[in-house]
Structure 1
């Protein structure tokens, strides 16, 4: 009785379908380790276990590869946050807490948080990527958090405040914690301050909400 030959075409098909994700993972690791400018496309292909030609089939340039990494790790997360905000039934304070917690769990506490360090360090030298990052991340994130603050004001939960400025006050510590995690956070020094990023973000949100929330009239 003849045994069936292994289903190699199906295996190759599954490998092909997984390849974009493998390339993005390899690119993220190298971008965070070496920076955008210092990373070569050949290195990404080698780490992903494919040829340079195969890499270019999916991502024709290093810039397009970086854009895909940002879309996968940040753009999609912001879009999910916008969907969450549109369907959220709780208070606006609870909504902001959920958004920050989700950001930390899905991005800030992961290797992808190193994207912030790359952008801050190198985007000045790459105007096209600066515009891309503004359109894909900065403006949508500002719209998301500004909208949440405006929601609280409209519902009488927050006192009137400049919504964009409040949004930036909420976003800035998130970026700082991500950068810290990939700088001093992974390079201990004698006498350094021990920082728990999740605790810092929770404390910061509490301070912001104390300033935003409408309080009852004093007795």
Structure 2
């Protein structure tokens, strides 16, 4: 008797196959049939799990976002807000640099969302959650006396933009060293707002 794979396992297999096909063929040239073939399921079976390739794209991004969310959770458990933010900065950049496939998929996804209002809604929510995380961290730092009173929204938005922006530069410029980049982030986003002893 052949054992059936669980729904979760099957969805993960489809998602991983879809990422490969999207990266190989590009979003526009990817078909549901190509994804089904790569995942080893029938086209009808694929439609049982996902109604469109947009849905697969969103689900794949959700899976990657879960890894980033875990970094946020761990950052909140650090001994100080300062250490938590630095932990997040280092692990966030390291994650994308150590996972070039996911990084390439992130850039592919970003290009696609600009054309699709439904996908854009998804990313707007993701961005809002991301900003809220940093705003909360900076606010906590102020409340605990680690940071000076400052515009936490501005700190959150600029830190988020800098983190996402530096990824592209690090991919193309081998002279950018992770440890030095983290020091630059610490100088600009932590030391500049720290309360002096």
| Bin of the TM-score, shorter chain as denominator length | 0.7 to 0.9
Q: Check conservation: 1:124, 1:130, Cα contact below 8 A.
A: yes
Q: C-alpha deviations, 1:57-86, integer Å up to 9, x for none?
A: 111111111111111111x23443453355
Please tell me the root mean square deviation across aligned C-alpha atoms, in Å: 2.4
Q: Which residue of 1 aligns with 2:53?
A: 62
**1:12-23 mapped onto 2 (5 Å cutoff):** 13-14=4-5, 18-23=9-14
Q: Check conservation: 1:116, 1:175, Cα contact below 8 A.
A: no
Looking at structure 1, the residues matched to 29 and 10 of structure 2 have their Cα atoms a distance apart, in angstroms, of 23
Q: Which residue of 1 aligns with 2:182?
A: 202
The answer to whether 1:52 aligns with 2:33 is no
Q: Which residue of 2 aligns with 1:211?
A: 192
Q: 1:15 to 1:151 in 2, by over 3 A?
A: closer
Instruction: Pick from 167, 170, 178 the counterpart of residue 178 of structure 1.
Output: 167
C-alpha deviation, 1:169, in angstroms: 2.0
Query: TM (normalized to structure 1)?
Result: 0.77
Unaligned runs of 5+ in 2: none
Q: Which residue of 1 aligns with 2:116?
A: 126
Q: Check conservation: 1:78, 1:140, Cα contact below 8 A.
A: no
Looking at structure 2, the residues matched to 49 and 206 of structure 1 have their Cα atoms a distance apart, in angstroms, of 46
C-alpha deviation, 1:89, in angstroms: 4.8
Looking at structure 1, the residues matched to 113 and 177 of structure 2 have their Cα atoms a distance apart, in angstroms, of 25
The answer to whether 1:153 aligns with 2:142 is yes
Q: Check conservation: 1:92, 1:151, Cα contact below 8 A.
A: yes
Looking at structure 2, the residues matched to 215 and 109 of structure 1 have their Cα atoms a distance apart, in angstroms, of 35
* Residues matched between the structures, number: 195
The answer to whether 1:9 aligns with 2:8 is no
Q: Check conservation: 1:174, 1:201, Cα contact below 8 A.
A: no
C-alpha deviation, 1:173, in angstroms: 2.8
Q: Check conservation: 2:75, 2:87, Cα contact below 8 A.
A: no
